[in-house]
Amino acid sequence: MPDTYFLNPSFVFKTPASPHYAAKLEGQSIDPKSLLTAISKERKNNTLIEGAGGVFVPITEDYLTIRGIQESNLGVVVVGSTELGTINHTLLTLEALTSRFIPVFGFYLVGPENPLQEDNATIIQKLGGVSFLGSTNFPEQKLSSEEFKTFALDQFDKNRNVIDVVINVDDES
């Protein structure tokens, strides 16, 4: 998809930490209202917005990502791991979202190929009550940034399940 489908980051930090902590360490502050304003401007543009970590990651010391998702009134595709532990993590995320009446379009698994991933996907779909949209397995060797970009362009969502469900969601209402 062209870059126009992706919302540019409102904040970028060097510190690999939750946004609230990275901002604090780097002398910046995050205003959730400005994030919501940027998101609201994209409402009709079929824009993909990637969160920073899971739904309970703090954006500020008193504002969680899930609150921003809820206040933006947008639907979600949950991205989980192919590995051990993903059933619990993904089902907890789905429960948190659906119990707040946040629409979930489905889930997608990403990670190394392993013997658990097929069962992980089946059980998450069955118990989570949302569609499995596919998976992407990483290559065994570590990739440079450029190699990863090429790999992702070629391998992520090859059947367009994620893209089509997100783009066509407004057409169904």
Distance, CA of 48 to CA of 140 (rounded, Å): 27
- CATH 3.40.50.300 residue ranges of the chain are 75-173
Distance CA 39, CA 84 (A): 33
Q: Which two tokens stand for residue 89?
A: 């993590």
Residue written as tokens 């998809």?
1
Q: What ranges in the chain are assigned the alpha helix state H?
A: 19-25, 32-40, 65-72, 86-99, 117-128, 145-155, 161-167
Of 64-68, 150-154, 167-171, the range with the highest mean pLDDT is 64-68
Tens of pLDDT, residues 60-114: 999 999 999 999 988 899 999 999 999 999 999 999 999 999 999 999 998 889 9
Q: pLDDT category, 46, cuts 50, 70, 90?
A: low
Report the topology of domain 75-173.
Rossmann fold (3.40.50)
pLDDT in tens, 48-74: 777 878 999 999 999 999 999 999 988
Query: Given pLDDT bands bounded at 50, 70 and 90, which one contains residue 118?
Result: very high
pLDDT in tens, 155-165: 777 777 777 77
pLDDT of 93 reads 97
